[in-house]
Each structure stands twice: as structure tokens, then as C-alpha cells.
Amino acid sequence: MSATATGIVGAGIERADGVDKVTGAARYSFERRFPDLAYVVPVQSTIARGRVVRVESERALAESGVLAVLDASCAPRLERPEGTHPELLVLQSDRVAYRGQIVAAVVATTLDAAREAAGLVEIEYEAEPHDVILRADHPGLYVPENANAGVPGAWSDGDVAPALARAAVIVDETYTTAIEHHNPMEPHAATAVWEHDGLTLHNADQGPYMTAVAVAGLFGLRPEQVRVVSEYVGGGFGSKATMSRPPAVLAAMAARVLGRPVKIALTRQQLFALISYRPPSIQRVRLGAAADGRLVAIDHEAITQTSRIHEYVDQIGASTRVVYAAPCRRVVHRVVRLDVPTPGFMRGPGHASGMFALEVAVDELAARLGIDPIALRIANDTAVEPYSGREFSSRSLVECLQTGAERFGWMTRGAGSDGADAPRREGRHLIGTGVAAAHHPDYRFGSTARARALPDGRFAVEIAASDIGTGARTALLQVAADALGVDPDRVALTIGHSASGQAMMAGGSMGTSSWSWPVDMACRELARRLGARADAGEAIPPEGIEVRADSAEAVQAAGSLARHTFGAHFAEVAVDARTGEVRVRRMLGVFAAGTIVNARTARSQFYGGMIMAHGQALLERGEIDPADGDFVVHDLASYHVPANADIGHLEVVMLDERDRSGHPVGVKGIGELAMMGGAAAIANALSQAVGHRFRDVPIRIEDVRSALRRQ
Ligand code: MOS
């Protein structure tokens, strides 16, 4: 790991909040107590499309403890500043855009009473025929102008069709990925408290400042009138970006109507329709190569879905524009509006689906060429970002592949893939190994931070960051201590308060890279001023000395190199030839993402991403029932995520990478990279083991069994 002169940045120190978390001293949003607290429980629509004609609340209101029933006819009107996400406009219309949408809400003095009464609200609907299933031939498919994160809806460089026609070898296959649901350990919760000058929102939130801005806009307030507090968050994956999700808005609305603090706490079941999800995809990937393995054309067409009320398009082809060189490249997204909840950001939005398809296609190409899949990837490495021609600030894909090959024992696997070499057999198990590249862009946004020197020799550092379990709190403490040149226990770090000032959210893997920049700036400037004062013999005044920093200009000025992170996943699977049971025996992930601020928390985040890739490859499958438009599974009993017993041996290697992009600490994002491509490595291993190409995830036991039967 890169370690600085003081050795604090790069050290694997223990989590700063570890003891508070395990002893319960850390207060999560749900655990905030207030006198006079009431609870709001949403009533969700039972039709997928139509209109609410009547809300009968008499029975609910008759229950003891029930204070109010809100619906679109009586809920306060919200403002709609430009850019407001329509999912935030809760109870503003009688239209029903999807099954599970909030159509009413019950407020009561206890959570149990509110839940009970929510079941007594009778809603009369005027239902219309709904359309909830994504298909490749859906007549409503269109090419959007942009996918998420500003990735073009359609983009090409060169003419792929003739290039493919001339290629010595081509792969032309269709891959699919299923809906995935976020299931953070902490379900979404918020407490809203209106005070004379505004609103305080204790919220499970990835970005307190951005939420303050969004919520202020809805209620016609100035951003500083909304104080979002989000000190501890039990996971998020993109679902706790409150600028796009309604639970906290509903709490704020109910608190305003009732004139008392109101808490919302979604149940696990309610999360499925209310907090976004990874949309399904149908992807056609065409790769053309010369006999030596050099790609001559890459074509990636991705089909996905959005809701009626908002155009969210997963940037499925985004990685395909970056990972490999080829003279001709084309990426097209097509999307259809269905009567479904709006999909949204979920760890590596777009990239997770796209890298699955691309990296399986590359494996297929290797097999058809008879070239080792690692050699094939290395042969198509690129020194410049293919779509822009810009140099990379750092790019260590080849090192990741090579380091991983050696560490994993790849050479023992033999060259080629499907059919090229017979799968290994150990007793009743078929053994396969697979590899895939990992890629995610490296983003960062200008943010603000404050650092204050106190007369007792301690330092107070503050930034509106959010640690959703990543270790950001600990990493920022290390960055601050390093910049101040002091031991971390002399630094008191406050995060999770929007009042600390503008800051990026914990999203797009840009939390720590965005936040560490102004923390470093503020702390270095403070150390400089303290040094000057000490030289002049001046003591620190009783009120302390404060420095505020805003990294916006520095981030802007930091040059125009292409910024991305890369890695390589390796997987070994064992398939029971009689039952089709799949075990992922071991996974190795090798990643390069600039300076790793904390090797311990980073390793843990990489493990999490690899486990989530295991879920994508083999387990996680959201499905919509065409008959009623509902998600078929609503709980963790039937929506399967990998549990401890599913996971074999995991190993993470973090390469020491020096990034040239001007970041003062050299930080690049890691959270999403950890997962990207991992599902392809597992699928490729499984394809080799079974001798059948799997192109649809999750690969279920029945898929494996039917492939085995065809042997
Ligand atoms: Mo992440 S999906 O950018 O919160």
C-alpha cells in the first residue's frame, strides 16, 4: 500500500466506530427518540396502473392511536423544483404508476397501530391494463438521449457491421441479467422534526447534504433550513440516495401535518417496491477479432426498463467504451417505459450488468480463438481511453490480470475455455475456473470541509460525508491526521450532518475520493497556520482556529486525464455432477485503485463486492408477476443473497498504484469496482466446469441440471 511519511494513510487501522457499532452506542436513524413521536406507515397500491378513485379511511381512523390518514386528496402540495425526481412527489396525484406505489399513509402514536390501521384503509381503484415485462421485441423500446451518469444513449466510432463481417472470428450472443433488489441490513428509516425555522431529518442516508437540498426544494425551504443527520447508516448500495426515494419525504410531510415528530421505518417487505432496484437487461454483444486475438469490432446493444414516471436508464454499455481497444466500437441503449417502480442506482449501476455480458463474451471469444482468456485481454489492452483518446491517469488492468494469474495458479488451468480443454473432475465434482476483468469509472466531486484547532491540542474536523459501512469515517480520520501531522486520536471527526456544508454523497464510488480532498486541504492549511503562529510565539485562542476548504476549483483544475479503476476476478467452482449444486470454492480479486487509505476496511469492501457478484451470478433474482404486476419475492426467505455458508475462500490483493490525476491523497474509488465483472468470472468458471455456456444470470440449479442432462 502507498503509505505517506507519517504512515497513517495506508495503514490498516481498526474502524473508528467499530466499538460504538458493536456496543450499540452508535445511533441509527430508527433509534432516535423524541417526545410525542408518531409513526407513519405507507399504504401501497395493489394495482399496477390506473387511478385511485376513493380512499375509505373510517375503519383505520377508528383504531386506537390513529391520528390521521393521508392520501392524494388531502396531503400537502409539494413544490417541484427543476430536476425533482418524480418518485419524491409522494401523494401528489391520484395516478397509480406501479404496484406498490404509495397511495395513502397512516399516522399513529405507535408503529404497531399505524401498521395495523394501514391494513384497514380501503382503496377503490380504477384499474387499467398494465404492462410489466421487459422483452427484446417490446414495441415501446426507444433509444434515450442519455443513460445514467451522462453516458450517451447511442454512440459509435467507426462502422461495426463491415468490420464484423470481415473478422476472422466473431462472437454474437445474447446475455441477460435479472432484476436485483437492494437489501441493506438496515431498512430505510427516518424521523422528521419540524422546528420554528425548518426541518430536521434523522435519515438513513447516503448523502445528507444532497438530501437537504432535495427536501428543501419540495417543501419550499432554503437548503440550510433542512438539517439532515445521518451519522450511522447500515448499508445502502445506492438505495439510500434520498434525492430519489420517498420514505423520508413522507415522514416530513406527516410531521408537518400533525405538528409533531414523525418516524418512518420501512419493513423488509416494503423495501422491494419502494427503494429502487437494479433493472433487468437483455444484451446482445458482438465481438469480432483477427486470428491473433486483436479485436476489430465491439458492438454492445443493451435493452432495459424504466417506469412511467421517470426515465432512468442503467448505463449498461458504459464499461464497453473503456475496457478494450478496437478500431470500431458501438454502444446502444434501448429502454421501455413499463408499469413498474422506477429502477435506480445499485452498486455499479449499468456497469455491473454490462461487464457481465462483455466479460462472458470475451471468454467465448477466447474459446473460439483457442487463446487463453488472460492473454486475449492483455492483447486488447489500451493505452488511451478508447472513446476519447485521452491518456489514463492510471490503468493497471494488465498488472491485475498477471498478478492474479500467478496468485490463483491460472497456468495450471490450461489454455482456452469451453471445449478447448476438458473440465477437471474430482470424484463427483466437475471443476472449472474463470477469469474476468473489473472496471469502474473513477469520479469525484468538489466538496467542503472544516478543520478547527482547539487550544487543548485537539482538532475538530467536519464534513457532510456518510459512512454507509464502507469505512469512510475511518479513512477520513486517517487523511485528516496525516495532513495535520498528528496521531488520529487527537482528531475528532464529525460526519453525517448536512449543516457541515456542501459535500458529495456516498455514491458512484466517489465518497472517500471526494471528501478526502477538502479534508486534506483544510487540515494542511490549518497545520500551516499553526506552524506560522508557533513561529511567531502566538498561542491558539480559546475559540480555536478554523479553516474551511472547498475543493471545487481544485477538482475542476486537476486536469483532463481519463480516470478509471480496474481489477481482475478469478473464480474456481465445483459442480456436483449428480445434483447440479454449485459451490464457488475460491475467488481471488486483484484490484488497483490508487492509494488505498485503509487496507483493512478496503479489503472488507472488496470482499463485500465479490460476495455481491456471487449473488448476481448464482442467486439474486427479482421477478415481476405479469398477472398482478407485483414483485414475486418480497423477503429474504425467497430473495436469496449469499450467506456465510455459500462463500468459499475469498482473497483480495490490492496493488500499489500511483495515480496521476492530481488528487492530493491519490485516492480512487473502490466500492463498485469490487463487484464489477465478478459474476462473469463465476459464470465463466461454471461454463468450463459443465461444458455448457451460461449466458443468463442468476444461473440457477435448474439451469445447471438441465445443462448436465444434455451432456
Ligand atoms: Mo452507488 S449505486 O453509486 O450508491
Indicate which CATH number applies to the domain containing 105: 3.30.365.10
Given the CA of residue 349, which atom of ligand 1 is nearest to it?
2
Q: Which atom of ligand 1 is nearest to the CA of 206?
A: 4
Indicate if ligand 1 lies below 6 Å from the C-beta of 272.
Answer: no
Q: Which of 649, 511, 682, 650 is nearest to 593 (CA)?
A: 511
Evaluated on CA atoms 572, 574, 575, 577, the torsion sign reads: positive
How crowded is the C-beta side of 544, counted as CA atoms within 13 Å?
15
What pLDDT score does 412 carry? 55
Rg over CA atoms, the chain: 26
Contact in structure between 38 and 108 (CB atoms under 8 Å): yes
Residue 197: which pLDDT band, with cuts at 50, 70 and 90?
A: confident
Whether 240 and 163 share a structural domain: no
Q: Is residue 9 part of a domain?
A: no
Ligand 1: residue of 180, 181, 182, 237 to mutate (most ligand atoms within 8 A of CB) is: 237
Residues 520 and 575 in one domain: no
Q: Tell whether 606 and 671 lie within a shared domain.
A: yes
Name the residue among 323, 328, 359 with its Cα closest to residue 165. 328
Q: Is the per-residue pLDDT at 708 higher than 80?
A: yes
The model's pLDDT over 519-537, given as tens digits with 9 standing for 90+, comes to: 999 999 999 999 999 999 9
| Residue 418 confidence class, pLDDT cut points 50, 70, 90 | very low
Of 523, 556, 589, the position where a domain reaches its end is 556
Categorize the per-residue pLDDT at 608 as very low, low, confident or very high, splitting at 50, 70 and 90: very high
Task: Compute the distance from residue 239 Cα to the ligand 1 centre, in Å.
Answer: 8
Question: pLDDT tens-digit profile of 132-157?
Answer: 999 999 999 999 999 999 999 999 99
- DSSP tag of 423: P
Mean pLDDT on 34-41: 97
648 with 546, same domain: the answer is: no
Q: How far does the centroid of ligand 1 lie from the alpha carbon of residue 616, in Å?
A: 16
671, 387, 557, 462: CA torsion to nearest 10: -10
Q: Give the residue-averaged pLDDT of 34-40.
A: 97
The answer, yes or no, to whether residue 414 has pLDDT greater than 50, is: no
Look at residue 12 and tell me if it is in a domain: no
Sole residue written with cell 396531503:
75
Cell numbers linked to 627? 398477472
Nearest Cα residue to atom 4 of ligand 1:
238
Cα–Cα dist 461/454, whole Å: 11
Query: What mean pLDDT do residues 20-43 have?
Result: 95
Domain boundary among 234, 257, 274: 274
Same domain for 339 and 211: no
508 lines ligand 1 (CB under 6 A): yes
Domain boundary among 556, 590, 621: 556
Provide the 10 A C-beta neighbour count for residue 257.
18
- Cα–Cα distance list, 310 to 144, 229, 271, 687 (Å): 12, 28, 19, 37
Of 145, 510, 154, the residue nearest 317 (C-alpha): 154
Average the pLDDT over 11-24 and give the result.
95
In a domain, 3, yes or no: no
Q: Specify the pLDDT at position 421.
A: 55
Closest C-alpha among 359, 266, 368 to residue 319: 359
- How many domains in the chain? 3
Secondary structure (DSSP) of 513-541: HHHHHHHHHHHHHHHHHHHHHHHTTPPPP
Q: Does 287 share its domain with 188?
A: no
| Ligand 1 proximity of 549 Cβ (cutoff 6 Å) | no
Q: Give the relative orientation of helices 511-535 and 472-484 as an angle to the nearest 10 degrees.
A: 30
Q: Which amino acid is at 378?
A: I
Mutate to test the pocket of ligand 1, among 205, 210, 505, 672 (most ligand atoms within 8 A of CB): 672
β-pair partners for 303: 282, 334
Q: Mean of the pLDDT values across residues 109-126?
A: 98
SS3 of 410, please? Answer: helix
- Residue 244's pLDDT is what? 80
DSSP 82: T
Distances (CA, A) of 536 to 332, 532, 533: 63, 6, 5
Cell of 616: 448476481
Tell me the pLDDT band of 242, cut-offs 50, 70 and 90. confident
Q: Please state the atom number of ligand 1 nearest to the C-alpha of residue 506.
A: 4
Of the candidates 365, 355, 410, 433, which has an alpha carbon nearest to the alpha carbon of residue 679?
355
Q: Which of 79, 462, 672, 702 is catalytic?
A: 672
Say yes or no to pLDDT of 105 above 70. Answer: yes
Residues 351 and 472 in one domain: no
At residue 297, the pLDDT reads: 98
In a domain, 23, yes or no: yes
Ligand 1 centroid distance, CA of 231 (Å): 18
d(CA 177, CA 485): 48
Whether residue 328 is contained in a domain is answered as yes
| Residue-range definition of the domain harbouring residue 672 | 148-179+278-442+563-709
Give yes or no for a contact between 508 and 676, defined as CB atoms under 8 angstroms apart.
no
Backbone angle region of 503, left / alpha / beta, with phi > 0 → left and psi within -120 to 50 → alpha: beta
Closest by CA to 333, choosing from 149, 569, 108, 573, is 149
φ/ψ of 345, rounded to 5, equals -60, 130
Check whether the bond before 698 is cis (ω within 30° of 0): yes
Atom of ligand 1 nearest to the CA of 239: 4
- 22 and 75 in one domain? no
| pLDDT per position as a tens digit, 612-633 | 999 999 999 999 999 999 999 9
Residues 87, 61 share a domain: yes
Burial of 274 (C-beta count, 10 Å sphere; 0-12/13-18/19+): buried
Q: Give me the chain's average pLDDT, please.
A: 95
Same domain, 610 and 549: no
* Statement to judge: residues 249 and 314 lie in one domain: no
Residue 4 domain-assigned (yes or no): no
The answer to whether the CB of 507 is under 6 A from ligand 1 is yes
SS3 sequence, 571-628?
EEEEEECCCCCEEEEEEEEEEECECCCCHHHHHHHHHHHHHHHHHHHHHCCECECCCC
Answer yes or no: is the C-beta of 346 below 6 A from any ligand 1 atom. Answer: yes
Q: Is the CB of 351 under 6 A from ligand 1?
A: no
Write out the three cell numbers for 535: 513561529
Cβ(349) – ligand 1 distance below 6 Å: yes
Given this model, what pLDDT does residue 3 score? 43
Please indicate, yes or no, whether residues 223 and 348 belong to a single structural domain of this protein: no
672 a catalytic residue: yes
Domain membership flag for residue 79: yes
Tell me the CA distances in angstroms from 72 to 89, 104, 109, 250, one per residue in order: 10, 7, 22, 12
Q: Report if residue 693 sits inside a domain.
A: yes
Residue 178 pLDDT greater than 60, yes or no:
yes
Q: Distance from the CA of 238 to the center of ligand 1, in angstroms?
A: 4
> Do 588 and 653 contact (CB within 8 A), yes or no?
yes
